[in-house]
Amino acid sequence: MSTKPLHPSHPVAAAVARIETELSQAAGVPVWSMAAGEAGEVLEALTRARAQTDALLLRVLRHAESVETGLETGATSTTNWWAHRMRMVRPQAHAFRRLATQVEAHPAVAEALESGRILTDQARAITDALEQVPADAEAWVLPAATQRMLDLAADHDAKDLRILGRRLFEVIDPATADAEEARRLEAEERAARERVGFGIRDAGDGTMRGWFTLPTAQGEMLRRQVHAIAWSKHTHPTTPVTEQTNAAAADADAADGAVDPVQAQRHRPLSRTGLGEAFCELIESRPADTLPTSGGISATVVVTMELETLLGGLKAASLDTGSTITAAQARRLACEAGIIPIVLGGGSVVLDMGRRRRFHTPAQRIAMGVRDGGCSAAGCDMPADKCQAHHETPWSKGGSTSVKDGRLYCPSHHQMIHDPAYQHHLDKHGKVRFTRRT
């Protein structure tokens, strides 16, 4: 597929054709002979040219939308056609489309991008900040805010501009800054509560992957906890450090300019793996007695293993969710507070409470969950932690509170088991099947 116009008639199309030709000619030219200073100058020029190219792309994209380019092929939008045509991921294409709309609304920002004075990500940060300006603000506010952000862009990258943009009103209109910040924060927090979410799924390769959206406060709390765990493992020296040893080290190092290894480590970036391991430790280290209950027991994971596995065997262990883990992982987790180990063939908690208790104990519920795997009804996949414990022989008729005389049912099937409109029986797999009485 050729991207060059065959017969460019518009000046912009002709200029783009020339640019493509020049870049194609430069693509195969070796750069090893380029001096250091010249290489730096070319890097700067290419960066500016990239920003200018993006500015032109944004203008052409807006025009293409206005003339409905690509819609004749059945595409739902010009942006979707463009993404498909150029094999772009749609979120990236639509991010450009949004930026094109924003830049078009702020001519001064468009001009700065077209001249290469600001970069594309800076333009995005600036226009995002300018969207904070209320529609009913006085006429001078938006131009002043725009000029302020463009001035800041001369010394700050996009990340800094986003931070500075949040404090924009403190500079351009101090009298209304507090009220405007309160309005913005209230709107952000309200939107954050609406967008909060969590998801996790089994990737099928021994890992689980997920996503979450948290309000800023809770997100910062989680980040600080994970970073604290990671740093505690990353920065501890091998020998105890006291004020005296620190002072002695400082005196000894002053002459040769040595750097404190502990302080040096504190400035090393934490790796993604290190943060992931810290997150795992945060999850594993929470005491079970601080967890909420689900299905009559604390929200812990049950690991089932044979006694041979616990004593050093290789046979895999299973989780009450249906997943399997290695014997080594099972033995390690058996020592953690957030894990309940069930050892088949080993010592056990007393599971038969007779008539001494009306309700099943957490230990009994765990045992029934391991045995039943969740709801006892055939075809129901409700996990054990969402189920209710049921007496096969009703308590009112002399039934005992035991694992043998108990079963787990989800709320719907538990209600059904007591409904005289249904009869039930065990199938060959030990599952309960219901039929409506006629």
405 and 312 share one domain = no
Q: Where are the alpha helices (DSSP H) in 267-392?
A: 272-284, 307-310, 327-333, 362-372
Residue 202 belongs to some domain of the structure: no
**129 with 148, same domain?**
yes
Same domain (yes/no): 69, 150: yes
Confidence grade of residue 6 (pLDDT, cut at 50, 70, 90): low
> Does a structural domain hold residue 11?
no
Query: What's the rounded Cα separation, in Å, for the pair 214 and 200?
Result: 15
- Range in 30-44, 263-277, 352-366 the model is least confident about: 352-366
Q: What percent of the chain has pLDDT over 90?
A: 23
Whether residues 275 and 299 share a domain: the answer is: no
Indicate the number of domains in the chain.
Answer: 4
CATH number (domain holding residue 395): 1.10.30
Mean pLDDT on 240-254: 42
* Residue 200, H or E segment: strand 197-202
Residue 111 and residue 105 in contact, taking contact as beta carbons nearer than 8 Å? no
Alpha carbon distance 268, 255 (integer Å): 24
For residues 325 and 264, membership in a common domain is answered with: no
- Is the CB of residue 145 less than 8 Å from the CB of residue 106? no
With respect to residue 111, please indicate whether it lies within any of the assigned structural domains. yes
Residue 197 has pLDDT above 70, yes or no: yes
Per-residue HEC secondary structure of 125-172 comes to HHHHHHCCCCCCCCCCHHHHHHHHHHHHHCCCCHHHHHHHHCCHHHHH
Is residue 15 situated within a structural domain?
A: no
Contact (Cβ atoms closer than 8 angstroms) between residue 370 and residue 342 = yes
The residue segments making up the domain with residue 418 are 362-436
For 318-332, the pLDDT digits (tens) are 665 556 666 666 655
